[in-house]
Amino acid sequence: MLEVPFGAAALSSREIEGLIRGNNLVTPRPLVTAADGAIDLHLSDLFLVGKRSVLPSISMEEPRKAARLFNEMRIARGHRIALQPQQFFLASTLEYLALPDTVCGLIQSRSTAGRMGVISVAAAWVAPGYKGSPTLEVFNAGDISVELAPFGEPVCQVILFSATRTSARISRYQCSTKARFATDLGDELIESWLRYLSA
């Protein structure tokens, strides 16, 4: 069970900077450290982009099926990706977070991006002890296309809170470095095939 103490305040800029220096909270180290009690996060260059016409629909009960709707796309250095109105894609942050067991986080869009219509997170919770580059759900809620640059302007930020952890439970997305779906179906299957072949 996880308990976030009632009334716990977000960590101050000074506390965050202390964690960055002492605990390698985030890699690479931010250039502008926690100016407003939050750490800015940038887009990495790998995106999972939707191909809308593959399925009639998907069900909330079967998240794996959503994997069929997306293609992996890399954006070359110095290039940008255009996010069309009402388009949605998955991305991951350049930054790799390594939260201690006593800190949890919330990711939220940066207001600059939000005012252009780009909402860059939906699943915003970062559990204590989490290690990885969080997957971002990026959506253009505006009426015009927006160009996004990997390693460019930050699109979102993580705000950190103190937490107590009474039961260690490692996230199934632990040590993830790329945008990904619920489970890596292909790897599980190929492993079972290899077991079959070597039997």
Return the active site residues.
137
Task: Verify binding: residue 135, another protein, rule CB under 8 A.
Answer: no
CA-atom Rg of the chain in angstroms: 18
In the DSSP assignment, the letter for residue 140 is E
Task: Verify binding: residue 186, another protein, rule CB under 8 A.
Answer: yes
Task: Verify binding: residue 88, another protein, rule CB under 8 A.
Answer: no
Q: How many CB atoms lie within 10 A of CB 157?
A: 21
User: Which segments of 10-87 are extended strands (E)?
Assistant: 26-27, 38-41, 43-50, 70-74, 81-83
Q: What is the dihedral of CA 31, 23, 40, 128, to 10 degrees?
A: 180
Task: Verify binding: residue 68, another protein, rule CB under 8 A.
Answer: yes
Task: Verify binding: residue 133, another protein, rule CB under 8 A.
Answer: yes
Residues 156-175 binding another protein (CB under 8 A) are 170-172, 174-175
| Residues forming the site for another protein (CB under 8 A) | 24, 27-29, 31, 44-45, 53-56, 62, 64-65, 67-68, 74, 76-77, 94, 96, 98, 131, 133, 151, 170-172, 174-178, 185-187, 189-191, 193-194, 196-197
